[in-house]
Amino acid sequence: MASSTKIPLRPSPATQRLRDLLADPEHIVVAPGVYEGISARIALSLGFEALYMTGAGTSMSRLGYADLGLTTQHDMVSQAETIANISPSTPLIADADTGYGGPVAIARTVSKYARAGVAALHIEDQVQEKRCGHLLGKEIVAREVFYSRIRAAVNARRDLGLDILIVARTDSRQSYGFEEARNRLLRAAEIGADVVFPEALTSTSELAEMVRAMRRTPCLLNMVTKGVTPELSVDQAKELGFRIVIFPIAGFGGAIKGITESLATLKSTGREPEDLIGVKQAFELCGLNECIELDKRAGGKALAGLE
């Protein structure tokens, strides 16, 4: 799996696009949280330039369980491949939890995510039995274990000739304080992480200080509704110096609200809501017209009459 021979990088269009966006110091990348095909299609139809595959949303949509570390490497790679291949040129940033094991497993995770079309993945320093970063009681691995995870990811990228971005996430603020979180991310950047992800900072002053401490290393802000971090707008995040801001709950939070309201109407009235999206409109959102055109250009007749 590993080799001492350096292989030239083969950047994917999505990865190169993300690198280009991060190369502009005046730009902030905004990535809404998506978790399956429909949420990704909606975000793309609205013109978002990048997407974020939330682990919490994946756990809830794929398993029907809260974000408690239950999703496997297979679950996450499969979901990421579905999302990334809807628009291969759009950068997808994806949660990779703890990397799903030791250095060998992490190398395999990096390979699988990159080949699935993911532009950037983040690996954190919680124990394997992890939980959502904005829940209490998180357990954190020793510094050297975290550094080993990041080193394994960076080495795998180099040895396998990939260009996926490595994002180092620390959840240590809750248990060990701001200085520990800062020091862990500084070292992760020295090891080779492209972006750092300070999870669950508790004040705007901490957010600003973290950005200053990281200097030229881009910082990612996780904007969790009703979480422990102050809720900021994109403009406020940009003013603090963050280069990427993700909104993981925007997709599944909106879906839960909308589905609940729709099914509640059905339960109480015996009818679906009158303002629901129609089936043809839903299909068009999810590529119907593009499929018809592809079939037609190839001389096929399977989709004739669907216009």
Model confidence, pTM? 0.92
Q: Which two tokens stand for residue 61?
A: 């949509």
Do residues 148 and 290 both lie within one domain? no
Residue 142 confidence (pLDDT) above 60: yes
Please tell me the predicted confidence (pLDDT) of residue 62: 95
Do residues 169 and 291 both lie within one domain? no
Q: Which two tokens stand for residue 207?
A: 């957010």
In a domain, 2, yes or no: no
Do residues 113 and 247 both lie within one domain? yes
In a domain, 5, yes or no: no
Q: What is the pLDDT of residues 179-216, one digit of tens each?
A: 999 999 999 999 999 999 999 999 999 999 999 999 99
Please tell me the predicted confidence (pLDDT) of residue 137: 61
In a domain, 225, yes or no: yes
The arithmetic mean of pLDDT across residues 133-140, rounded, is: 68
Provide the residue range defining the domain that includes 108.
13-256
In a domain, 263, yes or no: no
In a domain, 153, yes or no: yes
- How far is the CA of 121 from the CAs of 29, 55, 62, 149, in angstroms? 15, 11, 19, 13
Q: Contact at 8 Å (CB) between 191 and 38?
A: no
Do residues 203 and 297 both lie within one domain? no
Residue 1 confidence (pLDDT) above 50: no
Taking Cα atoms as reference points, which of 88, 56, 58, 91 lies closest to residue 75? 58
In a domain, 141, yes or no: yes
Do residues 48 and 189 both lie within one domain? yes
Q: What is the pLDDT of residues 63-101, one digit of tens each?
A: 999 988 899 999 999 999 999 999 999 999 999 999 999
In a domain, 91, yes or no: yes
Domain count, the chain: 2
Higher pLDDT, residue 157 or 225: 157
Q: Contact at 8 Å (CB) between 230 and 204?
A: yes
Residue 247 confidence (pLDDT) above 80: yes
In a domain, 267, yes or no: no
Please tell me the predicted confidence (pLDDT) of residue 163: 94
Residue 138 confidence (pLDDT) above 90: no
